[in-house]
Structure 1
């Protein structure tokens, strides 16, 4: 009871601090929400008292940008987050939550959605803490290693020039030169510069920010980064153009985090806010969409293929098909069904980097069987997947057989207990119910 009293006192003190800037019409509603949250606490856990330092870490004015209604919601969410933390839920510390995290919490309409998002942030927080601990441990071991080497050098007798010349390996005699990461990056960038001059164009339409959720936008940015890396490491890369870019959207913000030098003039990446219709001839554009019947039979080296930069995990509408029809572009899809046997229950959707990898290999090899190796094996009807499915069905049947042996009545239907009773207004009386009810067993006997 002592811990419960401390928790309630802390929440009341937090309530007094939160309602100072809230108008009176909102006070009753706010107080009711607080009371409901306090009552919903699990009293079987051990609580800690909320501190004033954790409350002062949240700058409501900076997050809300002067919006009083949003500031009011943020204070409710802050207290709800504190209640979850006191209840033992996986909630990150307030010092870890950035303003964009709080704004994302405001958009969540249900408590379960907010709790899932906080659990996701909690995992990221713990991951960063573990990474920092490992980094500090590596630094400590490295310092010990340097100290040990200095001690060995100071206590080791000096070697002659002949002894040093006979040593081979790193930092000694070696016939190979060392390739640094900067050298490899310069080689890859040189390939992209040559592709900009002489290579085939490939367009990625990233103008679907408003049609995707925030999670899908972040996933799309990651796939764009992987697409760029896949193309850069290829022997014959594309000249990639990211068109319809929204610099204020979630995709571009996250993409700049993955590629910090994307906006540098020397970096070989083409970012355009304008449409591809303003840059390339319309007769050469071919929009790749899975919602059409026409397949790519032969790879066209003169065409400019367009990949729709959309992650449709939730929204399954044919947005790319509608956009291509609206703009009057030619459309086609990859010949996946012709060359692949799909497994049962597996989706046929591919990521952006997988589509780009297929086009890269097809451009060089001209063999669809080889190019489609980038499709994940788990989606295909292979011998391994078939055997796994058979084993799963066999285990289920064996489980049902064991239950039937332990329970003789398992799987049997007692027809004497099955009856149909009409609930219509005409049969509400007992006589009508008896007249309209019939036994299922009589049907089988007849």
Structure 2
């Protein structure tokens, strides 16, 4: 199939008068560009192909770990030859091999290698996007400009008469808002003490959500004064977050990090832990309270850890009124990301309107009702030939009426 598509691309490039629709043209241009610049990126990173892991540093001169590491390298190579989702040997770093040594089963190692493979492809696509953007900019600068715009565009770097706002200026302006929030704003605690309850990829995902949380809070007109408590700077979570925010440990950075628990930093009577397992529903927003959000991504371990921790420490607990204002779709989880929780809190603090604040919940999780009034998320408009559930209704007494209703649903 790929050979046929490649031959079509060659014919189309040799015959410029060949009539093609816009979709085929875009596919051909994209295929030619990806083949051209993916090879350029591979040539650019050719010096990394011969990079081998530092076995002595990874295993710490342990003969058993050396033997196990060599077996794992052979296992990864076999999976790569079998066509599985395994990254290139040059992409796997020493810390990746150290993490693979800790995984107990082949299934866990396969999932981790799949995660690294997706990460590698994401970085390659990002490089392709940057290269394409650079080429488009060069073509734009070298292309002739119409003479009627000569009073706006100047010859030296195509400058104009308007003032340019640099990224550093915008960054300083947003950080100034956070400094004001440290003095006069309401405090918000992020509990980073669940690092041991998450696997490596969950810690990486949690760090990304914390970065988005910080960014969304900084872009708001009335941001919170963020406090990251139980933050272990040598742990996986903080190390992953440090990769996203390289300057977060500088003294001038507008973010608080506490190694201690929040009970040792703030008054216990003002603390309110936001957990989805709480019984008390948060109906009204309290501007004097100090809310706590648990920094946890529970894709594997779905135990009520935040509820158990708040109950053990004797802290007041509340949850969002999600069931009151939202209708959840079939099979959708009610979990929210950390940045979504922060956006909801910011809107509730500003407007005290839950219907407006819950707009940050993804629509894919909600019960979708179309214009005809039929619920499209329960029966997903499947093909009646592949939909097997109507056959089960034949065993009932009123099978004919139910079959007719089902058929009319599909016909609509």
Quickly name the TM-score band, shorter chain normalised: 0.7 to 0.9
Post-superposition offset of 1:69:
2.1
With 199-208 and 100-109 compared, the bigger mean Cα shift is at 100-109
Matched, 1:208 2:194: yes
8 Å CA contact 1:167, 1:173 repeated in 2: no
> What residue in structure 2 maps to residue 395 of structure 1?
383
Matches within 5 A, 1:379-390: 379-384=365-370, 387-389=375-377
Distance 1:293 1:396, change over 3 A: farther
Partners of 1:85 and 1:313 in 2: how far apart? 27
Of 174, 177, 192 in structure 1, the residue corresponding to residue 163 of structure 2 is 177
8 Å CA contact 1:288, 1:307 repeated in 2: yes
Post-superposition offset of 1:333:
1.1
Of 326, 331, 335 in structure 1, the residue corresponding to residue 312 of structure 2 is 326
Distance 1:55 1:70, change over 3 A: farther
Partners of 2:321 and 2:135 in 1: how far apart? 55
Distance 1:231 1:137, change over 3 A: closer
Partners of 1:402 and 1:289 in 2: how far apart? 40
SS in 2 for 1:388: coil
Of 280, 300, 314 in structure 2, the residue corresponding to residue 314 of structure 1 is 300
Distance 1:378 1:76, change over 3 A: same
Partners of 1:370 and 1:345 in 2: how far apart? 24
8 Å CA contact 1:192, 1:268 repeated in 2: yes
With 191-200 and 351-360 compared, the bigger mean Cα shift is at 351-360
User: Which structure has the larger Rg?
Assistant: 1
Uncovered stretches (5+) of structure 2, i.e. residues with no partner: 1-47, 396-412
Of 260, 279, 294 in structure 1, the residue corresponding to residue 246 of structure 2 is 260
Of 231, 236, 258 in structure 2, the residue corresponding to residue 245 of structure 1 is 231
Partners of 2:390 and 2:316 in 1: how far apart? 58
> What residue in structure 2 maps to residue 82 of structure 1?
77
Greater RCO (Cα-Cα under 8 Å, separation 6 or more): 2
Matched, 1:103 2:93: no
Partners of 1:401 and 1:203 in 2: how far apart? 48
8 Å CA contact 1:217, 1:251 repeated in 2: yes
Partners of 2:389 and 2:58 in 1: how far apart? 60
> What residue in structure 2 maps to residue 67 of structure 1?
62
Uncovered stretches (5+) of structure 1, i.e. residues with no partner: 1-52, 154-158, 405-409, 413-446
Distance 1:356 1:68, change over 3 A: same
Of 263, 273, 281 in structure 2, the residue corresponding to residue 287 of structure 1 is 273
Of 186, 189, 214 in structure 2, the residue corresponding to residue 228 of structure 1 is 214
Post-superposition offset of 1:395:
3.5
Of 38, 54, 57 in structure 1, the residue corresponding to residue 52 of structure 2 is 57
Question: TM-score normalized by structure 2?
Answer: 0.74
Post-superposition offset of 1:343:
2.2
Post-superposition offset of 1:208:
0.4
SS in 1 for 2:377: helix
SS in 2 for 1:125: helix
Question: TM-score normalized by structure 1?
Answer: 0.69
Partners of 1:117 and 1:172 in 2: how far apart? 48
Matches within 5 A, 1:130-209: 130-136=125-131, 139=134, 148=142, 167-168=151-152, 174=161, 176-209=162-195
Partners of 1:345 and 1:246 in 2: how far apart? 36
Deviations 1:312-356 (A, max 9, x none): 122121111111111111111112222222222222111111111
Partners of 1:349 and 1:402 in 2: how far apart? 32
Of 331, 342, 345 in structure 2, the residue corresponding to residue 359 of structure 1 is 345
Distance 1:379 1:84, change over 3 A: closer
Of 268, 284, 287 in structure 2, the residue corresponding to residue 301 of structure 1 is 287
Partners of 1:381 and 1:93 in 2: how far apart? 42
SS in 1 for 2:240: helix
8 Å CA contact 2:50, 2:90 repeated in 1: no
Post-superposition offset of 1:140:
5.6
Post-superposition offset of 1:114:
2.4
Distance 1:271 1:395, change over 3 A: same
